[in-house]
Amino acid sequence: MQPLSGTVFLLISGASQGIGKKIAETFAPLLKPGSQILLLARNLEGLIDTKNNLPKYLTINTASIDLSTASADDLTGTMTNFLKNDEISKFDQAMIVHNAGSLGNIAQKTIEMTNFTVWRQYYDLNVFSPAILNNVFMKFFGSQVKCKIFIVNITSLCALQPMKSLAYYCSGKAAREMFFKVFAAENPDVNVLNYSPGPVKTNMLNVVCQDVGDTEVKKKFNELKDKDTALSPEKTVTRLLQVLVEQNYVSGDHVDFYDIL
């Protein structure tokens, strides 16, 4: 089944800015009437701005929620607020895009990362939250026989390759991606994609250019800005959509923007 076909329930985390916002703006016009979108992020103003850019014929809901502190009950309640039990069976597809995440402290070397609380807070948002949100999502749609499920995890090349001063980010992306690989192995009927968007012109790139501690890494990222070789959100999201439509990957695979499938 082609993604985003039929009547679709689409959930996007981190939808108030950057890649998440562009995913919403790119995917929504492809959906048929009767489809429903749920946008999650902390920034309510940003969510409303995203919503205002989407087609009016769709049912679009926003929820301002701090995913780093939300419990499974909180996430279940959020979905229940917008998704009634008698509506679930009408969907031909359900797709969740796990986009929300953060860099963490990018000024520190690994030997300086000694605070347990900082570690826990980083993993709460970047690893534990998407895992639990995914499981809540599956409780709603996993038992729907006719509903095809797509899971998209926005990952990074840093999940595969170490980068100095980015130990929180690299380790978090690696752990998060492995969770979805195991999930894919356990759930062969679900289509799972770990998509690495490449270097993208977002606020996150600006933060790395300014704050990353390692001088070699800082130089590399600033060259991306200076030479204007970083990707636009539109370009990488267009590639994501192409990968999903062509489906030339095994469920659970890591696919980078630059990969040739």
What proportion of the chain, given as a percentage, has pLDDT over 90?
94
pLDDT score of 199: 95
| Residue 203 binned pLDDT confidence (cut-offs 50, 70, 90) | very high
Structural contact between residues 90 and 9, judged by C-beta atoms closer than 8 angstroms: no
For residues 205-231, give the mean pLDDT: 95
pLDDT score of 144: 87
pLDDT score of 145: 79
**pLDDT above 90: residue 1:** no
> Could you report how far apart the first and last alpha carbons of the chain are, in Å?
19
Structural contact between residues 165 and 213, judged by C-beta atoms closer than 8 angstroms: yes
For residues 187-211, give the mean pLDDT: 96
Report the CATH architecture of 8-198+233-256: 3-Layer(aba) Sandwich (3.40)
pLDDT score of 85: 74
User: What's the mean per-residue pLDDT of the chain?
Assistant: 96
| Cross-strand bridge partners of residue 10 | 37, 95
Structural contact between residues 93 and 8, judged by C-beta atoms closer than 8 angstroms: yes
Tally Cβ neighbours within 10 Å of residue 55: 14
pLDDT score of 182: 98
DSSP 83-116: --HHHHTT-SEEEEEE--------S--GGG---H
User: What is the token pair recorded at 98?
Assistant: 């796990």
pLDDT score of 261: 75
Structural contact between residues 188 and 131, judged by C-beta atoms closer than 8 angstroms: no
CA 117-47-2 angle, 5° bins: 100
**pLDDT above 90: residue 180:** yes
Domain limits, the chain:
8-198+233-256
User: What is the token pair recorded at 39?
Assistant: 């946008």
Upper half-sphere CA count for residue 28 (Cβ side, 13 Å): 25
Per-residue pLDDT of 12-55, as tens digits, reads: 999 999 999 999 999 999 999 999 999 999 999 999 999 999 99
**Which position has the higher pLDDT, 175 or 84?**
175
CA distances 228 to 20, 92, 181, 213, 259, Å, are: 21, 41, 33, 22, 21
CA distances 42 to 50, 68, 129, 141, 231, Å, are: 13, 10, 13, 24, 25
For residues 170-194, give the mean pLDDT: 98
Upper half-sphere CA count for residue 11 (Cβ side, 13 Å): 26
| Cross-strand bridge partners of residue 241 | none
For residues 220-244, give the mean pLDDT: 96
Per-residue pLDDT of 95-130, as tens digits, reads: 999 999 999 999 999 999 999 999 999 999 999 999
Whole-model pTM?
0.96
